[in-house]
Amino acid sequence: MKRFMLSEKYRLEIHWDKALYETEQVAKLKNCYLFGPAIKDVWKLQEEDFIDLDFVNQYVVFIDRYYIVRLIWKGVKYSPEKIFLNNAELSNQNLNVVPKLNKDDYILIDTRNHENEKHAYNLVYASYLLKKDGTFYDFRSMV
Protein backbone atom coordinates (compact mmCIF):
# COMPACT_ATOMS: atom_id res chain seq x y z
CA MET A 1 0.00 0.00 0.00
CA LYS A 2 1.25 3.51 -0.81
CA ARG A 3 2.29 6.01 1.80
CA PHE A 4 -0.61 8.29 2.82
CA MET A 5 -0.07 11.66 1.16
CA LEU A 6 -1.13 15.05 2.49
CA SER A 7 0.24 18.47 1.57
CA GLU A 8 3.30 18.83 3.79
CA LYS A 9 2.31 22.33 4.87
CA TYR A 10 -0.78 20.96 6.63
CA ARG A 11 0.71 17.79 8.09
CA LEU A 12 0.63 17.50 11.89
CA GLU A 13 1.32 14.17 13.57
CA ILE A 14 0.54 12.83 17.04
CA HIS A 15 3.06 10.27 18.31
CA TRP A 16 3.28 8.32 21.57
CA ASP A 17 5.42 5.64 23.19
CA LYS A 18 2.52 3.62 24.55
CA ALA A 19 -1.28 3.70 24.58
CA LEU A 20 -2.74 2.43 27.85
CA TYR A 21 -6.41 1.46 27.82
CA GLU A 22 -7.37 1.99 31.44
CA THR A 23 -11.13 2.15 30.73
CA GLU A 24 -13.32 1.30 27.74
CA GLN A 25 -13.60 4.98 26.84
CA VAL A 26 -10.10 6.36 27.52
CA ALA A 27 -6.63 5.60 26.20
CA LYS A 28 -3.76 7.36 27.94
CA LEU A 29 -0.88 8.29 25.62
CA LYS A 30 2.51 8.03 27.30
CA ASN A 31 5.19 10.47 26.05
CA CYS A 32 2.79 12.06 23.58
CA TYR A 33 3.98 14.79 21.24
CA LEU A 34 2.99 16.74 18.14
CA PHE A 35 5.38 16.73 15.20
CA GLY A 36 5.46 17.77 11.54
CA PRO A 37 5.68 20.75 9.19
CA ALA A 38 2.49 22.37 10.56
CA ILE A 39 4.12 22.66 13.98
CA LYS A 40 5.58 26.03 13.00
CA ASP A 41 2.04 27.38 12.43
CA VAL A 42 0.44 25.99 15.61
CA TRP A 43 -0.78 28.71 17.94
CA LYS A 44 0.49 28.62 21.50
CA LEU A 45 -1.47 25.85 23.20
CA GLN A 46 -3.24 26.26 26.52
CA GLU A 47 -1.71 24.27 29.38
CA GLU A 48 -4.97 22.31 29.73
CA ASP A 49 -7.09 21.96 26.62
CA PHE A 50 -8.38 19.57 23.95
CA ILE A 51 -9.00 19.17 20.24
CA ASP A 52 -11.51 16.93 18.50
CA LEU A 53 -10.22 14.49 15.89
CA ASP A 54 -12.61 13.31 13.18
CA PHE A 55 -11.92 9.72 12.07
CA VAL A 56 -15.28 9.14 10.34
CA ASN A 57 -13.78 8.35 6.91
CA GLN A 58 -11.52 5.65 8.30
CA TYR A 59 -13.64 4.07 11.03
CA VAL A 60 -16.99 3.96 9.22
CA VAL A 61 -16.74 0.16 9.07
CA PHE A 62 -16.86 -0.06 12.89
CA ILE A 63 -19.12 2.83 13.83
CA ASP A 64 -22.34 3.53 11.95
CA ARG A 65 -22.23 7.27 12.71
CA TYR A 66 -19.57 9.90 13.20
CA TYR A 67 -16.44 8.95 15.13
CA ILE A 68 -14.84 11.92 16.82
CA VAL A 69 -12.16 11.33 19.41
CA ARG A 70 -11.18 14.01 21.89
CA LEU A 71 -7.45 14.51 22.51
CA ILE A 72 -7.07 16.04 25.98
CA TRP A 73 -3.86 17.22 27.66
CA LYS A 74 -2.75 18.81 30.92
CA GLY A 75 0.63 20.42 30.41
CA VAL A 76 2.58 21.54 27.36
CA LYS A 77 6.31 21.75 26.71
CA TYR A 78 7.88 23.16 23.54
CA SER A 79 11.04 22.20 21.71
CA PRO A 80 12.09 23.48 18.27
CA GLU A 81 10.67 20.42 16.47
CA LYS A 82 8.03 19.03 18.82
CA ILE A 83 5.27 20.03 21.21
CA PHE A 84 5.06 17.60 24.13
CA LEU A 85 1.60 17.02 25.61
CA ASN A 86 1.63 15.92 29.24
CA ASN A 87 -1.11 13.68 30.64
CA ALA A 88 -2.51 13.19 27.13
CA GLU A 89 -5.44 10.92 26.52
CA LEU A 90 -7.90 10.04 23.81
CA SER A 91 -11.54 9.64 24.76
CA ASN A 92 -14.70 8.47 23.02
CA GLN A 93 -17.63 6.34 24.18
CA ASN A 94 -16.87 3.84 21.37
CA LEU A 95 -13.11 3.57 21.90
CA ASN A 96 -13.48 -0.11 22.79
CA VAL A 97 -15.20 -0.87 19.43
CA VAL A 98 -12.31 0.17 17.16
CA PRO A 99 -8.86 -1.48 16.90
CA LYS A 100 -6.41 -0.57 19.64
CA LEU A 101 -3.48 1.75 18.93
CA ASN A 102 -0.07 0.17 18.49
CA LYS A 103 3.14 1.66 19.84
CA ASP A 104 4.44 2.50 16.38
CA ASP A 105 1.17 3.88 14.96
CA TYR A 106 0.60 7.60 14.75
CA ILE A 107 -2.25 9.96 14.01
CA LEU A 108 -2.04 12.30 11.06
CA ILE A 109 -4.04 15.53 11.36
CA ASP A 110 -4.99 17.53 8.28
CA THR A 111 -4.81 21.16 9.45
CA ARG A 112 -5.77 22.76 6.10
CA ASN A 113 -9.16 23.97 7.39
CA HIS A 114 -7.68 25.49 10.55
CA GLU A 115 -5.87 28.55 9.32
CA ASN A 116 -7.02 31.84 10.90
CA GLU A 117 -9.84 32.62 8.46
CA LYS A 118 -11.25 29.05 8.39
CA HIS A 119 -10.77 27.70 11.91
CA ALA A 120 -14.00 29.14 13.40
CA TYR A 121 -16.04 27.22 10.80
CA ASN A 122 -14.27 23.89 11.33
CA LEU A 123 -14.63 22.59 14.85
CA VAL A 124 -13.00 19.20 14.27
CA TYR A 125 -9.74 18.11 12.67
CA ALA A 126 -9.82 15.51 9.88
CA SER A 127 -7.54 12.75 11.21
CA TYR A 128 -6.20 9.37 10.11
CA LEU A 129 -4.49 6.49 11.88
CA LEU A 130 -1.30 5.46 10.10
CA LYS A 131 1.16 2.63 10.50
CA LYS A 132 4.79 3.34 11.36
CA ASP A 133 5.77 3.20 7.66
CA GLY A 134 3.26 5.96 6.84
CA THR A 135 0.63 3.72 5.24
CA PHE A 136 -3.06 4.23 5.94
CA TYR A 137 -4.93 1.59 7.92
CA ASP A 138 -7.62 0.40 5.49
CA PHE A 139 -10.04 -1.17 7.94
CA ARG A 140 -12.50 -2.02 5.15
CA SER A 141 -10.14 -4.76 4.01
CA MET A 142 -9.86 -6.14 7.55
CA VAL A 143 -13.55 -6.79 8.22
- Could you report the per-residue pLDDT of 13-53, keeping only the tens digit for each? 999 999 999 899 999 999 999 999 888 877 788 999 999 99
Tell if the pTM clears 0.85, that is, is over it: yes
Q: CA-CA distance, 76 to 45, in Å (whole number)?
A: 7
pLDDT at 1: 42
- Contact 110/38 with Cβ under 8 angstroms? no
pLDDT at 48: 97
pLDDT at 59: 82
Ordered DSSP codes for 16-53: -SEEEE-SSSEEEEETEEEESGGGGGPPPPPSEEEEEE
Q: CA-CA distance, 121 to 84, in Å (whole number)?
A: 27
Ranges in the chain, pLDDT < 70: 1-8, 113-122, 142-143
Helices (H) and strands (E) in the chain, counts: 2, 11
